[in-house]
Amino acid sequence: MSLLRVTAADAAAQLDAFDTIIDTRSESEFAADHIPGAVNWPVLSDAQRHLVGTEHKQASDFDARRIGAAMVARNIALHLEREAGDKPKHWRPLLYCWRGGKRSGTLAWFLDQIGFRVQLLEGGYKAFRRAVVGELRALPPRLELRVVCGRTGSGKTRLLQALAAEGAQVLDLEAIARHRGSVLGLVPGAEQPTQKAFETQVWDALRRFDARRPVFVESESRKIGDLRVPEALIERMRRDSRCLHVEMPDAARVSLLLEDYAFFARDPDWFCRQLDALIEARGRQLVQRWQLLARGARWSEVYAELMREHYDPMYLKSMQRNFAGFADAERVALADGGEATLRRVARSLLYPTTASAT
């Protein structure tokens, strides 16, 4: 049989058509970023690649290839036994490695000899990465974005989740970034993805949207934690998109923050360390006051003061400066962050005629 090859552009356009997408690179390469939905069948592990590289430097290319070939053969045998043993004859996998195709081509040859309908990604991950970068420039201008704005604690993320539950198209950048977008935004136990992985996941979300329907997205800074929002997306959000201005009473905002950031109450020292980042902007004396309140478990006071003296003063200036549609934003009133309130408001945004009739 002859192996079929697919370009990166064609693969990106039909990812869901493959039965399995197999990344043959090492585990660390896979962890840094991979094609959405791919599984990792390393032809050489990180440790083995290091060993082969050392042999190449200290001995010869021939010796390195001989050692590497034996490792590759053993690894492929294990993959065939463990992962391919139950695959039917019509199984259609897509294989890729970094660029040259040696690792993916070797595994593909064995699968092809068995009789599977194997396809190889031309140019490997590197070519796919180029395709993703190009699509991240091309897709945002095609979408109608509705940017959900609102002060800290006003329920923007919860409203997005309620909209998604009602069938709306939602791009939750903070969920993809695993960060809530502020100095206190790091999610416990969740490490942020690499920049490349973040961009791949954003692309994967964008490509699935129906351009005939609006996409709801939260107003974000150019960076979410350590990650940069793709330039074409942030520009589309800021220059050419309608805004929704979510408003919630201050007391309800504090209650929402107490719920969403309850983990800080279990580790006040961690909270205080995060606040150190505000010393330059707000002064050591004020930050130390907030840290003292936190260590005294006076969380309502901490959040109320952070809102009033740090987040709220920055919010209006940032929105007016960065989002062209903010001045004419539709006002969205949330009495609280409860499920019933969010569901009602989400429905009113998606079905305004029905909501007004009821």
Residues β-bridged to residue 217:
147, 171
Q: What are 87-99's pLDDT values in tens digits?
A: 999 999 999 999 9
What backbone phi and psi angles, to 5 degrees, belong to 305?
-70, -40
List where CATH 3.40.50 sits in the chain: 139-357
Banded model confidence at residue 187, pLDDT cuts 50, 70, 90: confident
pLDDT tens column, 192-243: 999 999 999 999 999 999 999 999 999 999 999 999 999 999 999 999 999 9
Question: The domain 4-134 is classified under which CATH number: 3.30.565.10, 3.40.50.300, 3.40.250.10, 3.90.180.10?
Answer: 3.40.250.10
Residue 93: predicted pLDDT = 97
- Percent of the chain exceeding pLDDT 90 equals 88
- pLDDT bracket for residue 2 (50, 70, 90): low
Is the pLDDT at 16 greater than 60, yes or no? yes
pLDDT at 128: 97
Across the chain, what does the average pLDDT equal? Answer: 94
d(CA 352, CA 146) in angstroms, rounded, equals 15
| Marked catalytic residue, from 97, 149, 243, 272 | 97
Across the range 32-58, mean pLDDT stands at 93
Q: Which of 3-7, 103-107, 182-186, 189-193 has the lowest mean pLDDT?
A: 182-186
Assess whether pLDDT exceeds 60 at residue 60: yes
**Could you tell me where in the chain the CATH 3.40.250.10 domains are found?**
4-134
Q: What is the pLDDT of residue 354?
A: 61
Distance of CA 24 to the CA centre of its chain: 23
Question: Is 114 exposed, middle or buried, given 0-12, 13-18 or 19+ CB atoms closer than 10 A?
Answer: middle
Q: Which of 98-112, 177-191, 291-305 has the lowest mean pLDDT?
A: 177-191
C-alpha span between 275 and 174 (Å, rounded): 20
Q: Is 97 a catalytic residue?
A: yes
User: Which range (103-112, 179-188, 325-334, 343-352) has the least confidence?
Assistant: 179-188
Contact predicate 207/132, CB 8 Å? no
Average the pLDDT over 68-89 and give the result. 95
* Domain 139-357 listed as CATH 1.10.3470: no
Higher pLDDT, 64 or 129: 129
Q: What is the pLDDT of residue 53?
A: 87
Q: Is a pLDDT exceeding 50 seen at residue 357?
A: no
Determine the straight-line distance between the first and last CA of the chain, rounded to whole angstroms. Answer: 64
pLDDT digits 0-9 by tens, 260-278: 999 999 999 999 999 999 9
* pLDDT for residue 58: 86
What pairs with residue 243 in β-bridges? 147
What pTM does this model have?
0.93
